[in-house]
A and B are shown apart, each in its own frame.
Chain A
Amino acid sequence: MSQSDTPKFWQTHRIVLAMFGAAIVVLCVLFLRWDWLPKYLPLIGEGIWRTLWLLAVTSVLGFLLAIPLGLAQAAGPWYLAGPARVFCTVIRGTPLLLQLWLLYYGLGSLFPQFPAIRQSELWPYLRQAWPYAVFALTISFAGYEGEVMRGAFKGVAGGQLEAARAMGMPRLTILRRIWLPLAIQRALPTLGGETVLQLKATPLVATITVVDIYAVASRVRQDTFIVYEPLLLLAVVYMVITGLIVLAFRWFENRVPSRVA
C-alpha cells in the first residue's frame, strides 16, 4: 500500500531483506534440532486438524448465535435487548481463559452432584473436555460478533427497509431477504478479523486438556526438553492458517458485490 506509486514489489532492499530472511530460515533448519519431527508428525497432523475443526465449528455456531444477539440489541424490545447487551458486555469484559476455566472446572465440578445429569445420555460427553471448549469458544465468538452485528443491523439504510415495507412484505421476509443479507454484507470485512482472533483464541483449550496443535507442541517440549523448535513450528503453523483465512475472506469479499447499482 505504501508503495502504490511504485508498483514493483522486488526492489533492492526487499531482495536483501528476503535473502536475509531466507538465511535465517536456512540457519534454523541446519542448526536447530528437528530430529523429533518425524516421530511426532502424526500427532502434529491430528493437532492441526483439531485446531481447524474447533475454529470452524465455533465460528459458525458463534456467528449463528450472533445474529439474534445483534438483532435483539438493534431492534428488539427491552426485555430482549437488555439480556443481549448484558451477555455481550460480560463476554467481552472477562478473559476467555477465565470463562473456559469457569465452565470446565466450575460447571464440571457442579454437574456430577446432580444424579439426573449423571444418568442422562449427555453425561458421557459432559465428562470430556471438548464440549466445554466448543461452548466457551462459541459464546466468546457470539459475544464479540454480536456487537458487530448490532452495528451492522443498525447501519442498514432505512430506505431499504421502508421500501420493503411499502411493498407489503411481511416482517420475517424483510428480515430474511433484505435486512439480514445487507447486515451480513456490512459485517463481512470485520468477520475475517474476528475469525483470525478466534484462531488465536483456540490454543487456550489446551489448558483444559483438549489436544490441539498447541498442546502437541507443549507435549514435545515436555517430552524432549527442546524449547524453541516446537514453538517456532507452532508460530509458522498459525501464520499459515491466518494467511489462509485472510485469503479466503478476501476471495469471498470480492465475490460479494459491495455496491448495488
Chain B
Amino acid sequence: MMETLLDAFPTLALLAWEPPGWGANLMRGLGNSLQIALGAYALGLLIGTFGAFGKLHGGPVTRDLLAIYTTVVRAVPELVLILILYFAVTDLVNQGMVAMGYARVQVSGVAAGIAVLGVVQGAYSVEVIRGAIMAVPAGQLEAAKAMGMPPLKTAWRITLPLMLSNAIPGLANLWLIATKDTALLAIVGFAELTLQTRQAASSTKAFLTFFLAAGILYLLVTLLSGVIFGRIEKWARRGQRNHGAGQ
C-alpha cells in the first residue's frame, strides 16, 4: 500500500521525518504557528475583556479611544498592520534599550508575532465580548444589584458565566482567524508553517506536495478546534433551555 503510493507519487517521500524529508521542519513550523496563535489569542482575549468593559462602562474618552482602536484595526489589512507594528515595535524596543544604555537587540519573532496578532485579535474580541455582555438579560444584573453584590463580584459571578455562552461562537471564529493569520507572519520572515512549507517546496520543487500537506495540517487544526469549541459551548450552555444542538 505504502509502496504503491510512493511509486505513484515519489514526492511523498519528501514528507519523511528524517533530513532528506522535510516532515520535521513542517511540524516545527506548525508548532511555531500554534504557539503564536495561542499567545495572540490569549492577549486578544485580555484586551477584548478589558476593552469590552471599557466600552460599556468607561468614561467618554475611554469609549471614544476604544472606538478608534477597534475601527482602525478592523479597517486596515492585517498584513499592513503586521508590517507597521512589527517595524514600530522593533524600533521602539531598540530605542528604549539604547536609551537605557544597552545594546540593540533582535526582537524575537515569536514575541513580535504574538504582540502584533494580539493587538489585531483584541480589536475583534472587544466587539464579540461587548455584544455577548449586552445580550445578558438586564433582570439578572438588577437582581444581583438588588442582592447588594459589589460590581466586581457581579462581573465574575453573573455577567461572565452568562455572557460566555453568547460569546463562544464568536470566540471560536476568532481562534480560527488567529491560526490562519499566523500564516501572514511568513511575510516578515518568521518561520511558521507557511514559510517552512514554502522553503521546503522551493528547495525541492515539489510545490503541490508540500502546499497540500500544509493545507491538510491547517485543516486538521481547524477541524480539531471545531470539536473542542463545540464541547466548550455545550459546557457553557449547561442548564440552559431552548438552545439545542449547539446552534
Contacts and interface: CB of A to CB of B under 8 A. Distances in A.
B187 interface: yes
Nearest to B217: A94
Contacts of A232: 84
B55 A2 contact: yes
B15 interface: no
Contact of B194 (A95, A196, A234): A95
B237 interface: no
Contacts of B207: 101-102, 105-106, 108-110
A214 interface: yes
A129 interface: no
Interface residues on A, range: 35 or more
16 contacts: A3-B60, A11-B60, A14-B64, A17-B61, A17-B64, A92-B222, A94-B180, A95-B180, A105-B201, A105-B207, A106-B208, A106-B212, A109-B205, A203-B77, A232-B84, A235-B72
Contacts of B75: 196, 238-239, 242-243
A18 B139 CA distance: 38
B223 A93 contact: yes
B186 A97 contact: yes
B76 interface: yes
B63 interface: yes
Interface string A1-39: 011000000010110010000000000000000000000
Contact of A199 (B77, B87, B201): B77
Interface string B103-127: 0000000000000000000000000
Contacts of A201: 77
A19 to B, nearest CB: 13
Contacts of B202: 105
Interface in B169-227: 176, 180-184, 186-187, 194, 197-198, 201-202, 205, 207-208, 211-212, 214-215, 218-219, 222-223
B155 interface: no
Interface of B: 55, 60-61, 63-65, 72, 74-81, 83-84, 87-88, 176, 180-184, 186-187, 194, 197-198, 201-202, 205, 207-208, 211-212, 214-215, 218-219, 222-223
A203 B80 contact: yes
Contact of A234 (B61, B80, B198, B214): B80
A92 B219 CA distance: 9
B197 A98 contact: yes
B87 A207 contact: no
A200 interface: yes
Interface string A57-100: 00000000000000000000000000000000110111111110
Contacts of A231: 80, 83-84, 87
A13 B208 contact: no
Q: Which 9 A-B pairs have the closest CB atoms?
A: A95-B183, A93-B222, A102-B211, A242-B75, A200-B77, A106-B208, A95-B180, A105-B207, A106-B207
A168 B201 CA distance: 58
Given A93-B219, A101-B198, A105-B211, A238 B187 contact: no
A243 B180 CA distance: 25
A204 interface: yes
Given A92-B222, A98-B211, A2 B63 contact: yes
A98 B183 contact: yes
A134 B219 CA distance: 23
B55 A98 contact: no
A192 to B, nearest CB: 12
B214 A98 contact: yes
Nearest to A97: B183
Contacts of B218: 93-95, 98
Contacts of B76: 200, 235, 238-239, 242
Contact of A101 (B79, B81, B176, B211): B211
A106 B223 CA distance: 24
Q: Which of B183, B186, B219 has the most CB of A within 10 A?
A: B183
Contacts of B208: 102, 106-107, 109-110
Interface in A201-254: 201-204, 207, 214, 227-228, 231-232, 234-235, 238-239, 242-243
